[in-house]
Amino acid sequence: MSDSRLKGSAGRSVVARLFPIMTAVLVGFLVIGVALPVLPLHVTNDLGFGPLVVGLVAGAQFAAALLSRIWAGSYSDRRGAKRSVFVGLLAAAAAGLLYLVSIAFLKEPPISVAILLVGRAVLGGAESFIITGGIAWGLGLVERQHAGKVIAWVGTAMFAAMALGGPLGSILYTSFGFVAIALMTALLPLFVFAYVSQTPAAILPSHGQHACFNVILSAVWLPGVGAALASMGYCAILAFSSLFFVDMQWQPVWMAFTAFGAALIAARTIAGHLPDRLGGARVAFLFVIVQVAGLLLMGVAKTTLLASLGAALSGVGYSLVYPGLGVEAVRTIAPRNRGMAMGLYTAFLDVAMALGSPFLGWVGGHVGLRSVFLASAMIVGCAAAVAIQVERRHHVTA
C-alpha cells in the first residue's frame, strides 16, 4: 500500500513540475491546431488549388521544422530550454502576421500561396523550438526514470491543442474566414510569457562536454526511423482527413482529426507510464499494430462513424509509438545533450512529413483520397520491424 502511495505521489510531483511547460506547449500548438482542418479548405476553396498544393503547404511546415530542429536542440542545450520555448512562441506570432499578409493577396492566388508557404515555414521553426525546448526543459526538471512520462505528457499537450484547435478553427473559419485564424495565430502566443516566466529553468550539469553530432546520431537514428514511419499515419490524418470528409459529404469535417487527438490524449493519460515500465521498443511495437488497424478502417469506411472510429484507433496506436521510441533514443544520452538528441529524433519525423505530405497528396490526386489512408497503413506497418530491431539493439548494448 505504501509503495502505491509513493508512486502516486511521485506521479503527481512530475505532473506539477511539467504543468507550466505543458501549458506553454498547449498554447503554442493551439495556433497550429486551429489551421490544420481549415488550411486545406482555404487553399482549395479560397485560392483554387488542388491536393498537390495542399500537400506542399502542409509539408512546408514540416520541412522548415526539419531544417531548424538541430538548431533548436543545440540552442536548447547551450542557451537554455526555457529560452528556446520563448523563441518559438515569438516565431509563431510572426507566422500569424504572414498569414494576414497572404490574405491581402487573395485576388492573386500564386502570390498569396507563396506568402502562405513562408508563413507555414516560420511556423515550422516555431514548432521546432517549442516542442524541442519543452521536452528538454521537462527532462531537466524531473528524474531520469520519468523520461517516458515527460515525452508522453508534453507531447499530449501538443495533441490536446490540435484536438481543441480542430473544432475551434472550423468555427472561426466558417464564421469569419481565414483572417480569424491569422489573428489568433499572431496574438495568442504573446499571452503566455508572464505565466511561463515564473517556471524555473532546467539546471544543466556544470561538468562534462557536449557530445559530438555523430555520437548522438548513432544513438538516435534507429528509433528515429521507426518514429518517422509511424508518423506517416499522423501525416495522412493531419493533412487529408478533412478533405476526405468533404469528398464523402460527411460532417463535421474536423471529426476525424479531433477523434484522433482525443483518443491519443486518453491513451497517454491512462498508459503513459508503460514505456518507462515495460520498455519503449516493446510498447512501440504493440501500438504500431493498433495504429495500422485504425488506418485500414479509415481506408475502407463507408460511414462517418466508422471513419471516426478508425481515426480514434489510429490515435490510440500512435500515442505511445513516439514516446516509446523516444525513451530508447535518449536512454544513453547525457543530460547536457538531451536537447540535441530530441531535436535529431524529432527531425526524423519532419523528414517523413515533409516528404510524406506531397507524396500522399500525389496518391490522393491520382488514386483517390481513400487510398491515402491505405497507403499510409502499409508504411506505418514497417515501423513494427524497426521496433523489434531497436529492442534487439537494447539487449545487445545491455
- Please provide the DSSP assignment of 165-201 as one string: HHHHHHHHHHHH-HHHHHHHHHHGGGGSHHHHTTSPP
- Burial (CB count <10 Å: 0-12, 13-18, 19+), residue 295: buried
- Classify burial at 275, counting beta carbons within 10 Å of its beta carbon; exposed 0-12, middle 13-18, buried 19 or more: buried
Local confidence band at 158 (pLDDT 50, 70, 90 cut-offs): confident
Q: Which residue has the higher pLDDT, 335 or 219?
A: 219
Find out whether 113 and 65 touch, Cβ atoms under 8 Å.
Answer: no
Residues 260-264, mean pLDDT to the nearest whole number: 86
State percent of the chain over pLDDT 90.
Answer: 25
Q: Which residues of 51-77 are buried (b: 16+ CB within 10 A; e: fewer)?
A: bebbbbbbbbbbbbbbbbbbbbbbbbb
DSSP H stretches of helix in the chain: 2-33, 39-41, 51-79, 81-103, 109-141, 147-176, 178-187, 193-196, 213-247, 255-271, 274-278, 280-300, 304-319, 321-330, 338-367, 370-397
Residue 352 has pLDDT above 50, yes or no: yes
The Cα 201–Cα 361 span in angstroms is: 41
Residue 15 has pLDDT above 80, yes or no: no
The answer as to CATH 1.20.1250.20 being correct for domain 12-197+211-397 is: yes
The grid cell for 264 is: 491519443
- Cell numbers 504572414 label which residue? 98
Q: What is the mean pLDDT of residues 45-56?
A: 82
Q: Map grid coordinates 526543459 to a residue.
A: 137
**For position 341, what pLDDT does the model report?**
83
Confidence band of 397 (pLDDT split at 50, 70, 90): low
- Within 8 A by CB and 6+ apart from 387, the residues are 226, 281, 282, 284, 285, 288, 321, 324, 325
* pTM (predicted TM-score): 0.73
**56-115 per-position pLDDT tens digit:** 887 787 778 778 888 888 888 888 888 898 899 899 999 999 999 999 998 888 899 899
Computed over every residue of the chain, the mean pLDDT equals 83
Of 212 and 294, the one with more pLDDT: 294
